[in-house]
Amino acid sequence: MPNRSTDALFQLVKSLEKSEKRNFKLYARRNTATENLKTVQLFDALDKMAEYDERLLLKKATGVKKQQLSNIKAALYKQILSSLRLIKEDDNIDIRLHEQMDHARILFNKGLYLQSLKMLDRLKETAKEFQQLTYLQQALFFEKKIESLFITRSMQDRAEKLSNESITVNSQLTLVNQLSNLSLQLYGWYIKNGHARNEKDLKNIRIFFENNLPANVAAAKGFYERLYLFQSYVWYAFIRQDFLHYYKYSQKWIDLFEQQPGMIKVETSAYIKGMHNLMSAHFSLINTEKLAQTIKQFEQFARQKYLQHNEINRILAYQYLYTARINLYFLQGNFTKGIKLVPFLEKMLKEYGLYLDTHRVLVFYYKIACLYFGSGDNEKTIDYLNRIINQRGDLRTDLQCYARLLNLIAHYELGNFELLEYLIKSVYRYMANMQSLSRVEEEMFAFLRRSFKVGAHALKPEFEKLLTKLKKYEGNPLESRAFVYLDVISWLQSKISGVHVQDIIKEKFSAGKRLR
């Protein structure tokens, strides 16, 4: 797994771009008379380190004593944030609004109440333009404070208008909070459990969704209310493996931004996440043409200057772009071509490991394993699957299950039959304990157990029997995750026909194009 230092200052220094580092040094030297700055010494030492090591840090920063380190680190942390604020204020709507609020308070403290109100009016205009309800609420609260303490005569019916504005904003914020809570809780359920595994899961998630969907959801007219509403429906559909609705609400998510393009810069990460879900929906629906088109659209977006200048959003965009490209290779059967991406993925996982969550890293490992499996390299497949299997924690139990299942098939392909007998029992127990055993998986385990008892000459009829059984489950939503994580049907067809699995999928892709 990528290195994940927990030292907050080290993480902050490593997140800085070259221009930000240069700006910090100018800021630090401008704001102190001391030439040999200890904070700058410490900064330079941290900047040159690949991993955080306090003992090595003290050797490199010779002017810093051990007993001083904690205080100097705290001072450096504050200095970096202050320097960043100076150069980032125009890029970030929150910082701009916060500055306007600070100016309004300064004017208020000087007794310049009318000027303070004018500043608050400008703040409110900006907040309304970019749907920043919390700042709008703060501005209204401050306005009411000024009006209640001083007779400004700034406008007639001031009290009533301010009260009505406050009621409207508070109602919007309440709805935003309810919908954002629902979206976050659904996402948390998916991260822990993956897709719904049985009727009980489907019922539980439906009851939870219906009980937590606000009764006044029809009042969701603003940008953020609709954003979180569409997000909630996206996660609800995805968990249920209702891929048509998953596509429908992912598209609504993106349409919302296209209707208000100014919000793309304000909520860039949410737009990126929406594009990721839209591309994933096309993949789940096996809509190869639409997936290819959306990837091109996303590639154009990823080249935007404002995105390239933001490290976090740039990394987020690239990881989803790589995911989508791999998915396209899956649908086209171009596994060998997809393997050429692996060195870039490995480099990204190493270089940006600090910013990638464990869940995303595990997904990459599984997709890389599938690329190697599709290309026929079962040993490499097992190497990447072991990175998932050996990961501690309770993230994505479904991913853990399918990593173990694909691991079984890869060992089967390699003829490791002595090891397989042990693995089958181990994996069966694991999946049964997780209550994750579907009909498809039961059939596959039964096949693997039977395959030990028959000779190689009798395997083809067994493959044909299993294929016939599994085809019955292809349209069953509760069984579909087996086909999403692993194209078992194509694998069986390759074993029966003696043709490489990659060629089977390519032929299906070509046949689909001919039908269109």
pLDDT digit string, tens, across residues 332-343:
888 888 899 899
Say if 227 falls within a structural domain: no
Tokens 């127990």, residue located? 429
Burial tier of 104 (Cβ tally within 10 Å: 0-12, 13-18, 19+):
buried
Residues 428-440: b if buried by 16+ CB within 10 A, e if exposed: bebbeebebbbeb
Q: What is the pLDDT of residues 269-319, one digit of tens each?
A: 999 999 999 999 999 888 999 999 999 999 999 988 888 777 788 888 988
Q: Which tokens belong to 58?
A: 């003290």
Say if 255 falls within a structural domain: no
Same domain? 62 vs 112: no
Q: Which of 14-23, 137-146, 471-480 has the lowest mean pLDDT?
A: 471-480
Same domain? 126 vs 58: no
Say if 366 falls within a structural domain: no
pLDDT band at 320 (very low <50, low <70, confident <90, very high): very high
Residues 144-161: b if buried by 16+ CB within 10 A, e if exposed: bebbeeeeeeeeeebeee
Tokens 């001919």, residue located? 514
Same domain? 58 vs 123: no
How confident is the model at residue 178, as a pLDDT?
Answer: 95
pLDDT band at 3 (very low <50, low <70, confident <90, very high): very low
Say if 81 falls within a structural domain: yes
The residue length of the chain stands at 516
Q: Which of 181-190, 261-270, 442-451 has the lowest mean pLDDT?
A: 442-451
Listed in sequence order, the residues at least 6 apart from 265 whose beta carbon sits closer than 8 Å to its beta carbon are: 306
Q: Which of 144-158, 245-259, 276-290 has the lowest mean pLDDT?
A: 144-158
Give the C-alpha separation, 463 to 469, whole Å.
Answer: 10
Q: What is the pLDDT of residues 106-121, one digit of tens each?
A: 998 888 888 899 999 9
Averaged over 122-144, what is the pLDDT? Answer: 91
Whether residue 165 is predicted with pLDDT greater than 60 in this model: the reply is yes
Does the reported pTM lie above 0.85?
Answer: no
Q: Which residue range is the domain that position 128 belongs to?
A: 94-155
Same domain? 49 vs 79: yes
Chain center to CA of 316:
7
Say if 111 falls within a structural domain: yes
Closest CA to 246 of 257, 265, 231, 256: 231
Say if 501 falls within a structural domain: no
Give the C-alpha separation, 303 to 296, whole Å.
Answer: 11
Domain boundary among 155, 176, 202: 155
Same domain? 47 vs 99: no
Rounded to whole angstroms, what are the CA distances from 382 to 131, 371, 412, 423, 424?
A: 49, 12, 11, 13, 15
Other beta carbons within 10 angstroms of residue 392's beta carbon come to 6
Listed in sequence order, the residues at least 6 apart from 245 whose beta carbon sits closer than 8 Å to its beta carbon are: 233, 236, 237
Tokens 């892709």, residue located? 509
Q: What is the pLDDT of residues 213-243, one digit of tens each?
A: 999 998 889 999 999 999 999 999 999 989 9
Other beta carbons within 10 angstroms of residue 93's beta carbon come to 21
Other beta carbons within 10 angstroms of residue 191's beta carbon come to 14
Give the C-alpha separation, 35 to 46, whole Å.
Answer: 19
How confident is the model at residue 32, as a pLDDT?
Answer: 62
Helix (H, G, I), strand (E, B) or coil at 318: helix
Going by the DSSP 8-state scheme, the letter that residue 338 receives in this structure is H
Tokens 């990204």, residue located? 348
Same domain? 98 vs 76: no
Q: How many structural domains are present in the chain?
A: 2
Say if 118 falls within a structural domain: yes
Tell me, what amino acid is at 505? I
Q: What is the pLDDT of residues 195-215, one digit of tens each?
A: 887 888 899 999 999 999 999
Give the C-alpha separation, 77 to 13, whole Å.
Answer: 9
Give the C-alpha separation, 381 to 403, whole Å.
Answer: 10
Q: Report the interhelical angle of 397-414 vs 439-451 (nearest 10°).
A: 20
Give the C-alpha separation, 461 to 452, whole Å.
Answer: 14
Say if 45 falls within a structural domain: yes
Same domain? 82 vs 121: no
Tell me, what amino acid is at 249? Y
Going by the DSSP 8-state scheme, the letter that residue 219 receives in this structure is G
pLDDT band at 25 (very low <50, low <70, confident <90, very high): confident
